[in-house]
């Protein structure tokens, strides 16, 4: 039997794509292994690449080079987001073939004409996760926002939504396979729409499937007409108290330059509404520092805004110019050394805010799925995405178990930098 390995870089959507690729390869007679074994090398290596930052593109090239070194005779396909901006370099790094996201449905040959655009699509495959505890289910693809810094619309295409019925069927397969958590994944989740049904309708339908599992909504772009989603989250016990909404900046002047379609005040109002409806909500976000034209005053305005919202988690990024985006040509590019200093300030705020959320949960009881056991420590994550660490073998892995949060088992976010 032919052997294949899928190497996945980047976001949850890529994880979901790799799960669908696993199904397609399995149906075509491949045995899919978790990693490359030099003693028993694969016949095919698929590197599912990422291009969200220049560093991500660089890591994609590195993955191709490592695969070629360990499996010199394998057919190596560089697939996904980095294919558009970095095709020549991926080929030079050792890939036999480079294909963009639209070829993912053509595994394992990737040689046919990609499927035509449709506002509603079907994968005609079911997600397989042989090496994971959580199931990342793809429900949406593409983005129409065209933020000035973002390459995603260029590499993922226009917004389109996976057929409602197929999503539910894919989730049923994952639940029947014993997965305790379903993570709904997409490029712009709040844009989901199929025959009048929106994201809130889909989330409610998934939560009402029978079984012992929970539902997590992946990272989302803010859409402030989605108040129904907050009601569904508040009323459905299976839905994780977790909402990750990309802010990107806390100053309106920078948000306009980024071509974001909201003001800081609108974002704040939605967050306050979410916290009011959903007690103990883990509210996370993404923030960019060093965007072109970000003065010290604008950065401090953003820092103050972020600090007052008390996020449980902040993914911070130093602006990275992406060829083909409008911002790459903007004047007033921020020097790297200045951006790094601002990032350090933001990190202090982020750590303090995360620690405050952790402290607020001490003494409370909640469900945890334990996933990692190194023989000494068993680690897992709560529905509101706090890491819990207990002695090895204290609880079963891969099931939802209830624990009481203590200073000993609720992992600290670390010492704050001075």
Strands (E) across 186-250 are located at 193-194, 197-198, 214-217, 242-244
- Note whether 412 and 401 are within 8 A (CB): no
Give the residue ranges of the chain where pLDDT is below 50: 415-418
Strands (E) across 278-362 are located at 282-289, 313-318
> Which residues have C-beta within 8 Å of that of residue 37, sequence separation ≥ 6?
none
pTM for the structure as a whole: 0.94
Sign of CA dihedral 220, 211, 312, 276: positive
Nearest partner of 283 among 271, 273, 265, judged by Cα = 271
- Note whether 138 and 123 are within 8 A (CB): yes
**pLDDT on residue 222:** 86
Please report which residue ranges of 196-334 form alpha helices under DSSP H. 199-207, 227-235, 252-258, 264-277, 296-309
**pLDDT on residue 411:** 80
**pLDDT on residue 228:** 94
Helix (H) or strand (E) holding 341: helix 336-360
């Amino acid at each position: 039997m032919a052997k294949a390995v899928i190497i996945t870089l980047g976001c949850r959507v890529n994880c979901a794509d790799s799960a669908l690729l696993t199904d397609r390869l399995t149906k075509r007679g491949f045995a899919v292994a978790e990693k490359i074994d030099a003693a028993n090398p694969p016949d095919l290596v698929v590197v599912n690449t990422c291009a969200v930052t220049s560093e991500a593109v660089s890591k994609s090239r590195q993955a191709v080079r490592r695969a070629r070194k360990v499996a010199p005779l394998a057919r190596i396909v560089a697939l996904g987001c980095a294919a558009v901006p970095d095709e020549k370099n991926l080929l030079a790094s050792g890939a036999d073939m480079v294909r963009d996201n639209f070829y993912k449905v053509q595994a394992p040959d990737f040689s046919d004409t990609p499927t035509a655009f449709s506002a509603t699509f079907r994968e005609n495959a079911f997600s397989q996760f042989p090496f994971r505890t959580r199931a990342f289910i793809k429900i949406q693809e593409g983005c129409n926002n065209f933020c000035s810094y973002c390459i995603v619309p260029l590499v993922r295409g226009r917004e389109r939504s996976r057929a409602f019925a197929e999503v539910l069927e894919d989730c049923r397969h994952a639940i029947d396979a014993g997965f305790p958590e379903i993570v709904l994944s997409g490029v712009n989740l709040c844009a989901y729409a199929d025959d009048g049904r929106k994201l809130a309708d889909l989330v409610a339908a998934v939560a009402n499937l029978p079984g012992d599992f929970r539902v997590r909504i992946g990272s989302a772009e803010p859409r402030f007409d989605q108040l129904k989603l907050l009601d569904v989250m508040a009323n459905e016990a299976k839905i994780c108290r977790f909402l990750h909404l990309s802010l990107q900046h806390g100053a309106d002047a920078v948000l306009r330059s980024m071509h974001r379609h909201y003001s800081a005040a609108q974002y704040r109002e939605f967050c306050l509404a979410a916290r009011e409806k959903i007690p103990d909500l883990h509210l996370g976000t993404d923030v960019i520092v060093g965007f072109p034209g970000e003065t010290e005053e604008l950065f401090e305005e953003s820092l103050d805004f972020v600090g007052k919202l008390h996020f449980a988690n902040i993914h911070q990024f130093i602006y990275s110019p992406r060829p083909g985006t409008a911002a790459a040509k903007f004047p007033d590019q921020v020097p790297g050394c200045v951006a790094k200093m601002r990032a350090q300030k933001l990190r202090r705020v982020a750590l303090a805010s995360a620690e405050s959320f952790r402290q607020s949960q001490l003494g409370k009881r909640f469900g945890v799925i334990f996933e990692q056991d190194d023989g000494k420590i068993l680690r897992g994550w709560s529905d509101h995405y706090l890491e819990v660490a207990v002695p090895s073998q204290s609880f079963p892995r891969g099931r939802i178990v209830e624990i009481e949060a203590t200073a000993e088992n609720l992992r600290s976010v670390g010492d704050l930098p001075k």
